[in-house]
A and B are shown apart, each in its own frame.
Chain A
Amino acid sequence: MIVIIDYGMGNLFSVQSALNYLGVSSQISSDVEVIKTASKLILPGVGSFYQAMENLRKSGLAKIITETVVQKKTPILGICLGMQLLALSSTENGFSEGFGFISSVIKRFELPPSSELKIPHVGFEYVDIVKNCKLMEGLGAGADFYFTHSYRMKFENQPFTVGTCLHGENFVAVFEDGYVCGTQFHPEKSQTNGLIILKNFIEKF
């Protein structure tokens, strides 16, 4: 069973609707046993990094997710804030540690004061596929996806980066490191481009 992790942050309903559309059954859950025995995990999330990790730690879910991913090698897909949580840390609302599956940090966009670009970065934007990967298969050299975020993982040629996006600076839009992957954008809000990513996660991991 594919499990969408419920920790009180974010639009779980949309992710499940997209999976339903693909003809895949899934379960929204915060139950330890359900998460432990999942075939795949999806970690969505909207809101602040600090609050999210607080929720995950206090409920004991953080420990279970780490065990499930590290020991059982259960594939996990982080979406938006969920993607960021898989990294080492973030400076949103003060410093807080993430899961640390991906060795990179999350910081606020650093745009020059003269920049006309806005934060939060919101809307459909082109993602460049910079490396062969399973998650983005079938999308050619790149595709448009829907973003909404103020913090980002800066692109610094990390080996796990498979898709990048430009908003004043290059940031990591998609990473894939074995069975751990994440998208800064919302695949469930990105039309067929996003549905293809979810389909790839289900079929190829």
Chain B
Amino acid sequence: MAKKRLIFTLLYNNGDFMLSRNFRLQKAGNINWLKSNYNFKRIAFSIDELIILDVSRNKRNLSCFCDHIKLIAEECFIPIAAGGGVVSLEHARTILNSGADKIVVNTALLKHPSLIKELVKIYGSQCIIASIDVIKKEDQLECYISNGMEKVNQDFCNYIKYVISLGVGEVYLNSIDKDGSGQGYMVALLEQLDNSVKVPIIIAGGAGNWSHLLEGLKHNMSQAVATANLFNFIGEGFPNARRRLLENSLDLATWSVDKVVSVND
């Protein structure tokens, strides 16, 4: 069995990387800030996978987004998934040619299901991650598309079944209520799933500290946890969180973070 995964999600908005709170965005800094001040490389060596989402609220600039994927991929030696507003095969191909290994789709799941099927056919299911944004209203789980703006007319369980039926390889479940709260994941989302769900599930939204990551990873329905909060795990936060998860006997991949690797002349 493949190991469980710790994923970092970068939210990109017209040239800047963002903090998100219930899907309301706040600028954190640009690519230079991310690389130099924030030292993203250090975090990149403590995660299993990276997701980069173009959440631009205005018109998206694909070539600018792809330039940013390339700049990040240069010093990130893990699988990278990217997406945000993927509307065509050409759009997906451009992202994959920029150093991404997988495509993340959300709104297209409902609006362009034939595109999803085509992507699965061309690139394989392992290449396609379906992202589902959820809000809990009283006892109902509502799903949303279009950056959380448009409600899906199906309940959570039916929608996830529909999404999986399109052939996607993984599902990224994000709680809009918990997003940026730091209060922990909405584990209730995982509780809704049964053994008929055969694809890996990534739970996202709400992680504030390492014990939240632990709670998410320990659940038998999740294969991965993600956090998009740039400041909850700042500095040594991520290396330390990973170490603690390993100490709690979670089956994560291991590698030497501190071993300096360069080629001798």
- A residues sitting closer than 8 Å to B (CB atoms) are 11, 13-14, 17-18, 20-24, 117-118, 120-125, 143-144, 146-148, 150, 186, 188-196, 199, 202-203
Contact = CB atoms under 8 A, between A and B. Distances in A.
B99 A144 contact: no
22 contacts: A11-B101, A13-B98, A14-B101, A17-B77, A18-B77, A21-B74, A21-B77, A118-B198, A120-B125, A120-B169, A121-B2, A124-B2, A144-B254, A146-B79, A147-B2, A189-B78, A191-B253, A192-B255, A192-B261, A193-B256, A195-B77, A196-B259
Contacts of A148: 79, 101, 126
Contacts of A188: 77
Residue of A150, A192, A194 with most partner-chain B CB within 10 A: A192
A123 B254 contact: no
Interface of B: 1-3, 5, 45, 48, 70, 73-75, 77-79, 97-99, 101, 124-126, 169, 198, 252-257, 259, 261-264
Given A11-B101, A189-B101, A124 B5 contact: yes
B243 to A, nearest CB: 15
Contacts of B78: 146, 189-191
Contacts of A186: 79
Given A18-B77, A148-B126, A188-B77, A122 B2 contact: yes
Contacts, number: 96
Nearest to A123: B2
Contacts of B97: 13
A22 B263 contact: yes
Contacts of B70: 13
Residue in B3, B5, B77, B99 with the greatest tally of chain A CB atoms within 10 Å: B77
Contacts of B99: 11, 13-14, 17
Contact of B262 (A17, A22, A189): A22
A189 B77 contact: yes
B261 A20 contact: no
B117 to A, nearest CB: 17
B170 to A, nearest CB: 9
The 6 A-B pairs of least Cβ separation, nearest first, read: A123-B2, A124-B253, A144-B253, A191-B255, A195-B261, A124-B3
B5 A123 contact: yes
A33 to B, nearest CB: 25
A203 to B, nearest CB: 6
Contacts of A143: 254-255
A62 to B, nearest CB: 24
B79 A189 contact: yes
Contacts of B74: 17, 20-21
B247 to A, nearest CB: 17
B77 A194 contact: yes
Contacts of A189: 77-79, 101
A143 B126 CA distance: 23
A9 to B, nearest CB: 12
Contact of A203 (B125, B255, B264): B264
B48 A124 contact: yes
Contacts of A121: 2
Contact of B261 (A144, A146, A150, A199): A199
A69 B134 CA distance: 54
Nearest to A121: B2
Contacts of A146: 78-79
